[in-house]
Amino acid sequence: MTSDTSSPKATYAAAGVSIAAGEATVERLKPLAHRAGRPEVLGGLGGFAGLFKLRLDRWTEPVLAVSTDGVGTKIAVAQAMDVHDTIGIDLVAMVVDDLVVCGAEPLLLQDYIAVGKVIPERIAAVVSGIAEGCVQAGCALLGGETAEHPGLMADGVYDVSATGVGVVEVDSVLGSERVRPGDVVIGMDSTGLHSNGYSLARHVLLEIARMPLEGHVEEFGRTLGEELLEPTRIYAKDCLALAAEADVRTFAHVTGGGLTGNVARVIPNGLTAILERGTWTPAPVFALIAHRGRVEREEMEKTFNMGVGMVAVVSADDADRALAVLTARHVPAWILGEVSATGDGDERAVLRGEHPRF
């Protein structure tokens, strides 16, 4: 077999992968990972695996909790606006707020970023958001992976995911088995859409209504793009503080599937969480989507959080204490409903009534 010596030699860089850009990116990320650290982290960024020393003196019978997630098509808004320093907060929130549902303290997180072309400045912006999210959650950013996929993804396109690990004492695991009739359901305010329902939101607002991302929206007091990129609230530390000071039965992180879909996951057979729409008013972004897309209420409520990002189920005797704890931590919260032994058919969570001014 002969080769054409006049043709250029193939290289990894010519195929679209820049090792030099990858190395430059790692150097940019090291101080970000250091900022989002914990004393248990051993070594630094750049090894083949992240090391975390589990302090067994703190735990009698520890149980590890693990969660993996991404942020969905909210990334398309970030890329369209060329704003990349908040999407990482969304990523952390989606992972750690799932961990805390069972009472687990988030310990560490590792990210995975797939890109069409490594642009060190852009990756650093994304990871700066991840580091900020880890600081808010109290967990360590233990490393991750940035993978360049030329030919599979366009140059300006990227996607992110992360896996987090938490720990909880075996006798402190929260869940549906703790829920009792008469328990009170407390809602915690979301900061908007969070990271769910963006395929429908983008379809309605950008395609049907043809609203520009840079256009000012009076109801929001800012541009549509700024509203859609509002970072997801991270509830992890607030939920852990609440569990330490009140009789919490369980939490429910309101993501895909909406309020009733996620609350139902933590209510046992034979009980129903009866939730009252009249206890809160969804933010204007939800009304805008419903109006511009003629989206029916049932579709809205199974797609979006509708203004409730996290739910706590607490004993009735501790409801006031729970609200006081959340208020002191600057988390808007209110009594959303209660757990009933009678329920409504076989449904574990139902919404009743009407939203004021929606």
Mean pLDDT for 196-209 is: 97
Q: Is this model's pTM higher than 0.75 or not? A: yes
pLDDT at 292 over 60: yes
And the tokens for 116? 């069409």
**Residue-wise pLDDT tens digits, 257-290:** 999 999 999 999 999 999 999 999 999 999 999 9
150, burial (CB in 10 Å: exposed 0-12, middle 13-18, buried 19+): middle
d(CA 205, CA 104): 37
Find the range with the poorest average confidence among 48-62, 184-198, 293-307, 330-344.
48-62
C-alpha closest to that of 24 among 161, 126, 119:
119
Domain 176-352 fold is Phosphoribosyl-aminoimidazole Synthetase; Chain A, domain 2 (3.90.650)
Does 19-46+60-172 carry CATH code 3.10.20.30? no
Question: For residue 66, which phi and psi values (nearest 5 degrees)?
Answer: -130, 140
For the chain, which residues make up each domain, given as ranges? 19-46+60-172, 176-352
C-alpha closest to that of 300 among 204, 214, 231, 228:
204
pLDDT at 12 over 50: no
pLDDT grade, residue 1 (50/70/90)?
low
Average pLDDT of every residue of the chain: 90
pLDDT at 6 over 70: no
pLDDT grade, residue 11 (50/70/90)?
very low
